Amino acid sequence: MPELLSIVLFIASVAIYSYKAGRNRWWFFANLFVLGLFVVINLTQYASNYFTGDGINDAVLYTLTNSLIGAGVSKYILPGVGIIAALAGVFALLSWILRRRWHRPHHFGYSLLALLLALGSVDASPAFHQLAELVKSQTRDGDPDFAMYYKEPGKKIKKPTLNLVYIYGESLERTYFNNNAFPDLTPELGALKNQGLDFSHTGQLPGTDYTIAGIVASQCGIPLFAPFEGNSASSMSSFFPQNICLGDILKNSGYENYFVQGANLRFAGKDVFLKSHGFDHLYGSQELETRVSDPQYRNDWGFYDDTVLDEVWRKFEELSKAGKRFSLFALTVDTHHPDGFISRSCERRRYEFDGKVNQSFSAVTCSQEHIAALVEKIKASPWFKNTVIVVSSDHLAMNNSAWKYLNEQERSNLFFIIRGDRQEQKTIAEKRNAMDNGATVLDILGGDNFIGLGRSSLSGTSLSQVFLNLKEKVTGWKPEIIHLWKFPKKIDAFTIDSEKKTISFSGSQFRLPLLLRISDSRIEPLPESEYSAPLRYQLADFAPRDNFVWIDNCYKIARLWKPELALSTDLCVAQGQTGGEQKVERVDHAQWQGKVAIKNSVIDAGRYKRNVTLLKTADNDIRYKADSFVFNVAGAPENVLQFSGISRPESWGRWSNANLAPQVKIEYRDPLPAKFDLIITAKAFGPNADKPVKVRVGDSEQLLTLGHNVTTTTLHFNNPGQSNLLILEPPTPQLTNEGNITGHAPRKLGIGMVDIKIVKTAG
């Protein structure tokens, strides 16, 4: 009903304004903005629902404010393009309709009525209320009884004897194992489930309903609720830094902790969480590339499940033979929504339902076959007697092609345990939730029977049984859970670790580079990632009086306020106001101590405008004072007019990139000398090594031969025609992901340039 009311109010607003309001630019834009807001929030809800099946929730906000590296987006490109096209079309249509009667004189009353109706349509929209509730849940006072139920476990297991293999099945909920609803869908893994401890009533709670949240809930006993202001969670170099989680306890007890998955570890900050809580050995898509037999065999997200689980088995064998005490966690991906992936080695490659092949069900029946095969191999090994095997879903399946059939059943998460030290076959039907998983495993391994809000289902009572509606209770605890991040409210002194690239203050640690907006009541951290604007562009949007601390490479900062460091790749700290005074210091120790000392200086409008202009200068348009082209910093020396065919700066220099231009061209402002030496420090990529690189200035051409290592070569040129153009032509540029930023298109590399210098000679 609210949705219908919001649509009626929207249509009424459009009709009244277009037929009665008349011509007025201010009222037109005001109504267009509010009506456009209605369209945007409802399209956002529609798009979010496509992924989650639950509209705009914590999963959407967390994912969008964290790292999206490695996301398998190809299946979402067409829907995404469709939504953008629809949005553009709706705005164009709205603009046209609202201006239909602009020949009529303006009427204040009808304009106001149309605006009020538009505001009413937004307020009545369920999408708006969903967003508003998410914002309120971050700021409202929490439930004071949280401390009564949050329990911190002991840091060690006294006498550990069992190793642990813990397999997270992506979206592999227990509902798929209902043989009456889905006959013969999971025969292999279903049979194994029935041989162990099967926890049949594992519910899903808010903040546990997507992969990283499900992992956090199962290991730390808390939902994943994160502070979203300024992407603060994504900028932190630790994850719930003071919580004791299962990985911490295992590490403290002498376990070597491993985590293996086919997707990129950086997606959603999974690497940060695992490193923060006891995992020293992580393998994702990048790490597995050099270990797997066929690096090209992969899906949208990374390596297929057969590849990943084969690697898990090899690691299990290796660690067991070495007599190590270990935990080995794995996460599958082939059952990821919207419809999954089918490994090439599967015997069960298709599953028909409702008279046709269903891709999601097919992915499930394929993936469970691989998980079952791994479990059977471990069971048949001589090391099984010292091993506990856990198989669980990370969360309930999201909106996939089996979604409507799943929703016809009573849904629950998968969680079962097979013990090698003793046979236990039992179905445990008591109500529980994913937060209980880690506590149950810890109990079996000889530790406490609680972690956070989780309780062992073998010797404790789940909070799902204590509270009639634990979902509401958990949502009420959100402020207390967010407080567990220990997010700082002020910064005075700070420490920079130049080797680890982190900054620490007020008990928290953040990754560098970082920009901080500082006020009396809050600190807003603005990280730089592959999907956010560079920090200098973000700083350009600060108000003239906004206080900032900016930690980054010196060459990015110093060209504005300390030119003598404009070619330094060290870290620098800048602080001040963009419209006032700024101070820049170079970080010259491995552990560098700093203090925030921002003066309330007089704001100068001209200074602010100059700073904003410099901050927004495109990388290739930056110019610095130097007698050579230094390639490991952005821009070029002042005597260079423009250049092309050169990739982004890296720590050592820059590659030529034939995807940008087939040749490297450097155009100087003035003609090059009649006679000069070209001194070039460079190397070659792959097959370009030991092959001649053509180097031309005007009609003069020289050949340059480079190896795989950096060398310096001097070429002698005559330039009677006074050409100002230097051209380098790599012989065989190669398409590769070498040194690339994950998620970016492959580059076509030829030569790697460190430095080019022009030296005039006598003649």
Would you call 432 helix, strand, or coil by DSSP? strand
Which helix (H) or strand (E) segment holds residue 715: the answer is strand 711-718
Per-residue pLDDT of 204-237, as tens digits, reads 999 998 899 999 999 999 998 877 554 445 556 6
Mean pLDDT score, 474-495: 87
The Cα–Cα gap between 442 and 419 comes to: 13
Average pLDDT, the chain: 88
pLDDT band at 300 (very low <50, low <70, confident <90, very high): confident
The Cα–Cα gap between 51 and 76 comes to: 9
Report the range out of 219-228, 404-413, 592-601 with the highest average pLDDT.
404-413
The Cα–Cα gap between 441 and 219 comes to: 9
The amino acid at 38: F
The Cα–Cα gap between 695 and 689 comes to: 15
- Count CB atoms within 10 A of the CB of residue 236: 26
In CATH terms, is domain 623-760 a member of 3.40.190.10? no
| Sign of the torsion formed by the C-alpha atoms of 572, 576, 578 and 582 | negative
Mean pLDDT score, 7-21: 80
* From 142-146, 403-407, 597-601, 748-752, the region with the lowest mean pLDDT: 142-146
- Between CA 115 and CA 120, with CA 118 as vertex, the angle to 5 degrees is 110
Mean pLDDT score, 674-689: 96
Per-residue confidence (pLDDT) for residue 160, from 0 to 100: 94
- Count CB atoms within 10 A of the CB of residue 604: 14
The Cα–Cα gap between 485 and 504 comes to: 14
Q: Comparing C-alpha atoms, which of 182, 160, 161, 165 is closest to residue 173?
A: 182
pLDDT band at 69 (very low <50, low <70, confident <90, very high): very low
Q: Write a three-state SS string for 280-336.
A: CEEECHHHHCCCCCCCCCECCCEECHHHHHHHHHHHHHHHHHCCCCEEEEEECCCCC
- Token duo for residue 738: 């070498």
Q: Comparing C-alpha atoms, which of 639, 679, 677, 680 is closest to residue 656?
A: 680
The Cα–Cα gap between 612 and 489 comes to: 27
pLDDT higher than 90, residue 446: yes
Measured in whole angstroms, the distance separating CA 240 from the mean position of its chain's CA atoms is 17
pLDDT higher than 60, residue 514: yes
pLDDT higher than 70, residue 485: yes
pLDDT higher than 80, residue 83: no
Report the range out of 134-138, 265-269, 411-415, 490-494 with the highest average pLDDT.
411-415
Mean pLDDT score, 556-573: 92
Is the pLDDT higher at 430 or at 106?
430
The Cα–Cα gap between 371 and 352 comes to: 21
236 secondary structure, DSSP code: B
The Cα–Cα gap between 232 and 596 comes to: 19
Q: Comparing C-alpha atoms, which of 560, 591, 596 is closest to residue 578?
A: 560
Is the pLDDT higher at 5 or at 391?
391
Length of the chain: 763
pLDDT band at 506 (very low <50, low <70, confident <90, very high): confident
pLDDT higher than 60, residue 662: yes
- Token duo for residue 661: 């231009």
The Cα–Cα gap between 113 and 15 comes to: 11
Per-residue pLDDT of 541-552, as tens digits, reads 999 999 999 999
Helices (H) and strands (E) in the chain, counts: 23, 36
pLDDT higher than 90, residue 5: no
Would you call 437 helix, strand, or coil by DSSP? helix
Per-residue confidence (pLDDT) for residue 81, from 0 to 100: 66
- Between CA 617 and CA 622, with CA 618 as vertex, the angle to 5 degrees is 70
Per-residue confidence (pLDDT) for residue 750, from 0 to 100: 96
* From 82-96, 313-327, 399-413, the region with the lowest mean pLDDT: 82-96
- Cα 515 to Cα 239, 354, 525, 551, distances in angstroms: 19, 54, 6, 6
The Cα–Cα gap between 747 and 530 comes to: 16
Domain boundaries, the chain: 2-139, 157-483, 493-617, 623-760
Task: Put the strands of the sheet holding 591-595 in their side by side order.
Answer: 508-511, 502-505, 493-497, 591-595
Per-residue confidence (pLDDT) for residue 351, from 0 to 100: 94
Is the pLDDT higher at 352 or at 97?
352
pLDDT band at 241 (very low <50, low <70, confident <90, very high): confident
Omega before 513 within 30 of 0, i.e. cis: yes
Would you call 733 helix, strand, or coil by DSSP? coil
Q: Comparing C-alpha atoms, which of 282, 396, 405 is closest to residue 335?
A: 396
Q: Comparing C-alpha atoms, which of 548, 569, 698 is closest to residue 624?
A: 569
- 303: which residues sit within 8 A by CB, 6+ positions away? 262, 285, 288, 292, 297, 333
- Token duo for residue 644: 């092309």
The Cα–Cα gap between 201 and 431 comes to: 5
CATH superfamily, region 157-483:
Alkaline Phosphatase, subunit A (3.40.720.10)
The amino acid at 148: M
- Token duo for residue 656: 């030529």
DSSP string, 488-546: -S--SEEEEETTTTEEEETTEEEESSEEEEE-SS-EEEEE--TTS--HHHHHHTS-TT-
- 607: which residues sit within 8 A by CB, 6+ positions away? 579, 580
The Cα–Cα gap between 752 and 738 comes to: 12
Percent pLDDT > 70 in the chain is 90
Measured in whole angstroms, the distance separating CA 53 from the mean position of its chain's CA atoms is 21
pTM of the model: 0.71
Per-residue confidence (pLDDT) for residue 33, from 0 to 100: 84
Per-residue pLDDT of 103-117, as tens digits, reads 778 778 887 888 888
pLDDT band at 602 (very low <50, low <70, confident <90, very high): confident
Backbone angles phi, psi at 582, to 5 degrees: -130, 145
